[in-house]
Amino acid sequence: QASSDSYETSSLRKDDSPVHGLSEMIVGVLGGGQLGRMLSQAASQMAIKVMVLDPLENCPASALSYDHMVGSFDDSATVEEFAKRCGVLTVEIEHVDVATLEKLEQQGVDCQPKASTIRIIQDKYLQKVHFSKHGIPLPEFMEIKDVEGARKAGDLFGYPLMVKSKRLAYDGRGNAVAKSEEELSSAITALGGFDRGLYVEKWAPFVKELAVIVARGRNSSILCYPVVETIHRENICHIVKAPAAVPWKIRELATDVARKAVSSLEGAGIFAVELFLTNDGQILLNEVAPRPHNSGHHTIESCYTSQFEQHLRAVVGLPLGDPSMKTPAAIMYNLLGEDEGEHGFYLAHQLIGRALGIPGATVHWYDKPEMRKQRKMGHITIVGSSMGIVEARLNSLLKEDSSDCQ
């Protein structure tokens, strides 16, 4: 599909009809969580109309989007109804009804990225098969159908062994580590048994986790954001450092792997590529998300074009923006629920109160109706003139926090 076509039809119209905002096209987003909320924020700046589909009346995106249809992004009739109201369909979550997206595409509905991409990515095992076929370096992996199969995989890959659900995984809720053969059956049980589909991955002895946000326009042009380091706490992204403190050769390799991985998928938008760096300097792909991603939240304050604005530019067919950093360093700290209910809110608000006094810090609160332990409730980004400075500012924020809590 020619980029110039989509660009001209979606924006800067040549006829005399008034153009309200940068595009007349309504961008339909399946999902209205924090990513939908931040997409809506970026859209409002350019007067692009974002409409979200989410079952929760008071989902994080509802207050900020142009429109909100209450309904499930996993229900066929609802997705079809939603598509009728939108000029282009995109996602903020990959766990959507992909069969319906495929059907809609056949009827001419514009989905970005393509349904084929969502289909590959929403099944992590299929995703691994796809990337291995395309020569992307990955930890070794194998489908398992019973405990005997899991044992065989353990013999082959050794322990610890990572057992993963194929589908509906997020924030590590779909991963279980078996430290030895004895732990295999409890890991499998923890993931709900074999019904949902399981596979195993060889343990990746990583020294760092890295991520690259990749943007692809409708004309297939690709731009990569600077490589970042992601630090996880109990499988959940907790801290992101931008740029990653790794030698330029590693940055180049990580960017190459990310670009190659995204090139093997179809459609426009932001893609996030999660990577492992091993101690012998190898880069292995962990997984790809077909949408804006937690590892790219820092771009709102630290890059010329945020990942959210870039995603909108890409799916609408506007020219892509500059992904480079406009500040030397940024650190992003996720506000994960520390406790249920009111006490959780109290702890988060204590931290936010202090963050508001820190130079270079920006607070994002997603306004989720319920506070739960380990849930992503918001984030804080601190930008500054060096990584040392932004790290010191984060440390001072967190140190005060722990003394307050004691």
Residue 204 interacting with ligand ATP (CB under 6 A): yes
Distance CA 126, CA 116 (A): 12
Other Cβ atoms less than 10 A from the Cβ of 4: the count is: 11
Q: With respect to ligand ATP, which residue has the nearer C-beta, 43 or 377?
A: 377
Please spell the DSSP secondary structure of 48-108, one letter per residue: -EEEEEES-TT-TTTTTSSEEEES-TT-HHHHHHHHHT-SEEEES-S-S-HHHHHHHHHTT
Shortest Cβ distance from residue 287 to ligand ATP (Å)? 5
Please give the size of the binding site for ligand ATP, defined by CB under 6 A.
19
The site string for ligand ATP over 283-312 (x = CB under 6 A, - otherwise) reads ---xx-------------------------
Segment contacting ligand ATP by CB under 6 A, of 171-179, 296-304, 361-369, 371-379: 171-179
Q: Please, what is the end-to-end C-alpha distance for the chain in angstroms?
A: 59
**Residue 373 DSSP class:** T
Using CB under 6 A, pick the residue from 102, 105, 171, 367 that binds ligand ATP: 171
In what helix (H) or strand (E) does residue 242 lie, and over which residues does it extend?
strand 236-242
- Rounded to 5°, the CA angle 109-100-366 comes to 85
Shortest Cβ distance from residue 161 to ligand ATP (Å)? 9
Site for Mg ion in 275-314 (CB under 5 A): 287
Distance CA 177, CA 164 (A): 9
**Residue 208 DSSP class:** E
Shortest Cβ distance from residue 230 to ligand ATP (Å)? 7
The site string for Mg ion over 236-275 (x = CB under 5 A, - otherwise) reads --------------------------------------x-
Segment contacting ligand ATP by CB under 6 A, of 26-34, 170-178, 327-335, 387-395: 170-178
Shortest Cβ distance from residue 247 to ligand ATP (Å)? 22
The one of ligand ATP, Mg ion, none whose footprint includes residue 72, by CB under 5 to 8 A per kind, is: none
Shortest Cβ distance from residue 94 to Mg ion (Å)? 8
Residue 137 interacting with ligand ATP (CB under 6 A): no
Q: With respect to ligand ATP, which residue has the nearer C-beta, 181 or 287?
A: 287
Segment contacting ligand ATP by CB under 6 A, of 183-191, 200-208, 369-377, 383-391: 200-208
Q: With respect to ligand ATP, which residue has the nearer C-beta, 281 or 388?
A: 281
Q: With respect to Mg ion, which residue has the nearer C-beta, 168 or 358?
A: 168
Residue at 389: amino acid letter:
I
How far are the Cα atoms of 11, 59, 396 from residue 348, in angstroms, in the given order? 41, 19, 16
What does DSSP say about strands 161-165 and 175-178: parallel, antiparallel, or unpaired?
antiparallel
Tokens read off for 293: 């991603």
Q: With respect to ligand ATP, which residue has the nearer C-beta, 209 or 301?
A: 209
Segment contacting ligand ATP by CB under 6 A, of 71-79, 187-195, 201-209, 344-352: 201-209
Other Cβ atoms less than 10 A from the Cβ of 17: the count is: 8
Contacts of 160 (CB under 8 A, 6+ apart): 177, 178, 179, 203
Q: With respect to Mg ion, which residue has the nearer C-beta, 62 or 117?
A: 117
Residue 170 interacting with ligand ATP (CB under 6 A): yes
Q: State the angle between helix axes of 98-106 and 76-84 in degrees (0 to 180), rounded to the nearest 10.
A: 40
Distance CA 237, CA 253 (A): 22
